[in-house]
Amino acid sequence: MRFKRLLLFCLLAAPVSTGWSQITITESNVATVFGSRTAVTSYVATSFDGLQALAEQTGGNQTFDLRSATFEQDDAFSFDALIVTCAETLPGCQDPALNTANLITQESYGGTASDSVALSFFDLTNVGLFFRGGATRGDFDETNPGLEEASFTFTPAMQLMQLPLTMGTAWSFDTELSSSDLPGVVFEMAERYVVDAWGTLITPGGQMEALKLRNETISGFEVAPGVILVDTSTTIQFLTKGLLGATIELDSEGAVVGAGYTLNTDTGQSVDPGSEQPRQATLAQNYPNPFNPSTTIAFDLSQTGPVRLAVYDLLGREVAVLIDGLRPSGVHAATFEAGALPSGVYLYKLETAAETQIRQMVLLK
């Protein structure tokens, strides 16, 4: 189910160093992450080398290294989320099954029209994170131009997390999924969750302290009177306090059929904001922002080394190189002059020998 894979990609992941103790995810951790607007880009596996054995690892102080597989960026899953309050103009906000949720996020996705709107409805409590459903309005169907609305709901709400979440935590529930796209069709779902491992998750985007959550789903719906179609699948989720993450999807036979990880576009890394992992450099937000026509970009190096600071447009084209060479430890700054460029969002990237960081800035003329 595409919506479920999308939800898992967008909610889960963060950092670690081998040998750290396992983490515990609490209501406070979840609330902190949802309270910060985060731009996330997802990467999907194009090969599954090494992932079968990784999905089967259990126990403490494990190393979950995804780098034996290959990944490519999935533009369909690039998204930016913002907490909102329900309003009459927003999709789903007239539905009593959705509009009383205590946590509502509005998401924008790469590749969709600017007037497209997508909302997700959650309940966050000290015992869990519950997903009620979602609603969209936009031009998502290339074969049928024009704005369309759609929604889906879980009855009862799907419990994505039991809090506090730590090694050995387990829960299960049954729910029904209904969608406005398929009126009269109800998917029955039995969900089983268990945290069966903890350790270090390593992706091409960084190193993360994570819990390994195994989610088994049995779903079915009536395709004809008396004929029930049943599907069984398993998703391995790597959960962190930063709530970015990685996933591995298994079919009914236990074979890997999909995988991916997420990257925080604001930092360029899959790094938990609460991690104790030291950084080699700190890239500050440019000032002023928005700007016209110039702005200052500052960064702090913890040690002497090669540095490259460059600016790109949203198509990935390099528009300026501000610094390219050896710099001593300490605070540095560069001025970006954008008088010849059009208004819009630009990315600036700091590269050192140890890491890469990316931030956004807005040129407003």
Predicted confidence (pLDDT) per residue in 202-219, tens digit: 888 777 789 999 999 998
Sign of CA dihedral 211, 212, 215, 216: negative
Position 161 in a domain = yes
Q: Which helix (H) or strand (E) holds 30?
A: helix 27-34
Position 275 in a domain = no
- Count the domains in the chain: 2
DSSP 289: S
Q: Which residues form the domain of 88?
A: 2-264
Position 204 in a domain = yes
Give the whole-angstrom CA distance, residue 209 versus residue 199: 6
Cβ atoms 336, 311 nearer than 8 A: yes
Residue 266: which pLDDT band, with cuts at 50, 70 and 90?
low
Cβ atoms 124, 34 nearer than 8 A: yes
Residue 106's pLDDT is what? Answer: 85
Residue 291's pLDDT is what? Answer: 87
Position 40 in a domain = yes
Domain limit, last residue, from 202, 230, 264 = 264
Residue 110's pLDDT is what? Answer: 58
The answer to whether residues 314 and 213 belong to one domain is no
Residue 299: which pLDDT band, with cuts at 50, 70 and 90?
confident
The answer to whether residues 100 and 237 belong to one domain is yes
Domain limit, last residue, from 202, 232, 264 = 264
Position 276 in a domain = no
The answer to whether residues 285 and 215 belong to one domain is no
The answer to whether residues 7 and 36 belong to one domain is yes
Q: Count CB atoms within 10 A of the CB of residue 131.
A: 22
Task: Report the percentage of the chain scoring pLDDT > 70.
Answer: 79
Three-state DSSP class for 67?
helix
The answer to whether residues 304 and 206 belong to one domain is no
Give the whole-angstrom CA distance, residue 290 versus residue 311: 15
Q: What is the DSSP string of 198-228?
A: EEEEEETTEEEEEEEEEEEEEEEEEEETTEE
The answer to whether residues 221 and 296 belong to one domain is no
Residue 185's pLDDT is what? Answer: 78
Task: Report the percentage of the chain scoring pLDDT > 90.
Answer: 36
Q: Count CB atoms within 10 A of the CB of residue 258.
A: 16
Give the whole-angstrom CA distance, residue 107 versus residue 120: 8
Residue 20: which pLDDT band, with cuts at 50, 70 and 90?
very low
Asked if the model's pLDDT at residue 12 lies above 50, the reply is no
The answer to whether residues 202 and 260 belong to one domain is yes
Bridge-based pairing state of the strands 117-125 and 128-138: antiparallel
Three-state DSSP class for 274?
coil
The answer to whether residues 16 and 133 belong to one domain is yes
Q: Which residues contact 20 (CB under 8 A, 6 or more apart)?
A: 200, 209, 276
Global pTM value: 0.66
Residue 129: which pLDDT band, with cuts at 50, 70 and 90?
very high
pLDDT (average), residues 29-33: 80
Asked if the model's pLDDT at residue 224 lies above 90, the reply is no
The answer to whether residues 217 and 73 belong to one domain is yes
Domain limit, last residue, from 229, 264, 299 = 264
Question: What percentage of the chain's residues is helix, strand, coil (to nearest 5)?
Answer: 5, 55, 35
pLDDT (average), residues 65-73: 91
pLDDT tens, position by position, 102-128: 999 887 765 555 567 889 999 999 999
Asked if the model's pLDDT at residue 194 lies above 90, the reply is yes
The answer to whether residues 11 and 74 belong to one domain is yes
Position 274 in a domain = no
The answer to whether residues 285 and 260 belong to one domain is no
Residue 38's pLDDT is what? Answer: 63
Residue 220, beta-bridge partner list? 188, 230
Position 62 in a domain = yes
Position 273 in a domain = no
Residue 146's pLDDT is what? Answer: 67
Report the CATH number that the domain containing residue 319 is assigned in CATH: 2.60.40.3080
What are the tokens at 88? Answer: 């009459």
Residue 84's pLDDT is what? Answer: 85
Specify which of 71-85, 125-139, 350-364 reaches the highest per-range mean pLDDT.
125-139
The answer to whether residues 174 and 297 belong to one domain is no
pLDDT (average), residues 315-339: 87
- Single-letter code of the amino acid located at 79: F
